[in-house]
Amino acid sequence: MEMQIPNLRHLRVFIAVTELKSITKASDNIFLSQPAITQAIAKLEKSLDTILFERHSDGMYPTPSGEIWYKRVARALDYLQDATNDILRDPSNREIQPKNLLAQISTTQLKALVAVCEARNFSIASRQLGVSQSSVHRAARDLEKLLGIALFEKNSLGIDATRAAKLLSRATKLAFAELRQGFYEINAIQFRDVSTIAVGSMPLARTTILPKSILRFSERHPDVNIKVIEGPYPDLLQHLRQGDVDLILGALRYPTPADDVIQEELWSPPLAIVCRANHPLLSQTEVSASDLNQYAWVVPAEGTPTRQAFESLFQDAGATLPSRIVESSSQILIREVLLESDRLTLISANQVEREINIGLLHILPFPLEHTRRPIGLCMRKNWLPTLTQSHFLSMLREVSEQFRQKIY
């Protein structure tokens, strides 16, 4: 079940009533009529399918659902407020007060901003949103007028988002992610948890920690969806930082790749040189870097931890790098290339454990204990996981501990 992002004005109304515990006081504070405030609260309660307030003679107090929603809405609005404050630090915009600005921005304008920033094309953005192109144009231009700054610039390929547009778009996506978190939490406390956990996964995690964790987690949370997103690490990191994924599971990067993310090591498996059964090198009791140099390889792309380990293997031995290389991180392709040729690969043995156990692939006798790679979690520094997401994190840690102890 996917929620519709509420009207920002309704969210501001909800915050005011929660903090002031009174529709009358909220009306005076945000300059809306009492009927308008009552209607806004009713619409929120209908969209969330829950009661947000208990009405008492001495005021209005949030229900358990209301407390959850307040926490998430406050975090969402903070993201937007911080972004607008940053934009308004431009001296040319000092006549606009941040407090007044955020009150005038609409959810429709923010949705249009995000869609255009991602598509870099108004026509494509309008189709993604399911509205007319003129509506997207109008929403974007109205937002530009409010900010007093250009959000998009034309180029030969279409349009580019300005720094201000990218800043506010990222804040919007994080704010919307917070609201979805709140929606999931409210459903969970009403025993109808149908949330989605989005995991960005790197190759090693996809064949070891993640599948076992998903199966065990699903036994306890059968109605929760797990969405696994695959792709190059830089893309996954971008998705993480703007709220498209909740966490990344895979090889950690050092130093930490961005100031707004944190890493947690789960497991450090060593690499191994793997080949097909009956490979010529298997007949040797010892294998040198010079021996390895004589064969073609299939290895990950440059810049990945495994590729760096591959290059160091030869550099540390004073040997030249193999020249016949196929670059790929696809485990299916790697397996098939190894089975049909004398090529070698550098990989964690756990990734091809099944093929090793049935004798299709073998590990060459070459010392690589020093190549242990930290595998773990990368998360946004200020991410506040739901209880369900926390359970999933616990499952990942539990399964990783079993791998550390070599219990399969």
Average pLDDT of the residues in 347-367: 92
Query: What pLDDT is stored for residue 406 in this prediction?
Result: 65
pLDDT in tens, 179-220: 999 999 999 999 888 899 999 998 888 888 999 999 999 999
Query: What pLDDT is stored for residue 154 in this prediction?
Result: 86
CA dist 260 and 258 (Å) reads: 6
Query: What pLDDT is stored for residue 402 in this prediction?
Result: 87
Asked if the domains 193-267+374-404 and 271-371 are classified in one and the same CATH topology, the answer is yes
pLDDT in tens, 152-161: 998 877 789 9
* Rounded (10°) angle between helices 8-20 and 64-87: 120
Choose between 257 and 405: higher pLDDT: 257
Query: What pLDDT is stored for residue 205 in this prediction?
Result: 86
Choose between 382 and 31: higher pLDDT: 382
pLDDT in tens, 378-400: 999 999 999 999 999 999 999 99
pLDDT in tens, 39-74: 999 999 999 999 999 999 889 999 999 999 999 999
Task: Using alpha carbons, select from 249, 202, 205, 235 the residue that is nearest to residue 389.
Answer: 249
In CATH, the number for domain 8-171 is 1.10.10.10
Average pLDDT of the residues in 248-254: 93
- Strands of 361-363's sheet in order across: 345-348, 271-276, 361-363
Query: What pLDDT is stored for residue 103 in this prediction?
Result: 86
Task: Using alpha carbons, select from 1, 4, 104, 80 the residue that is nearest to residue 44.
Answer: 4
Residue with tokens 């893309």: 235
CA dist 103 and 179 (Å) reads: 18
DSSP per residue, 274-305: EEETT-GGGG-SS--HHHHHTS-EEEPPTTSH
List the structure tokens of 271: 């690499």
Question: Which architecture, in CATH terms, is 193-267+374-404?
Answer: 3-Layer(aba) Sandwich (3.40)
Contact 167, 174 (CB under 8 A): no
Is pLDDT of 234 > 90?
yes
Query: What pLDDT is stored for residue 5 in this prediction?
Result: 94
In words, the CATH class of domain 271-371 is alpha beta
Backbone angles phi, psi at 365, to 5 degrees: -75, 85
Q: If pLDDT is split at 50, 70 and 90, which confidence band does 93 have?
A: low
Average pLDDT of the residues in 300-312: 90
Is pLDDT of 1 > 70?
no
Is pLDDT of 95 > 60?
no
Domain residue limits, the chain: 8-171, 193-267+374-404, 271-371
Is pLDDT of 408 > 50?
no
Is pLDDT of 407 > 80?
no
pTM above 0.75, yes or no: yes
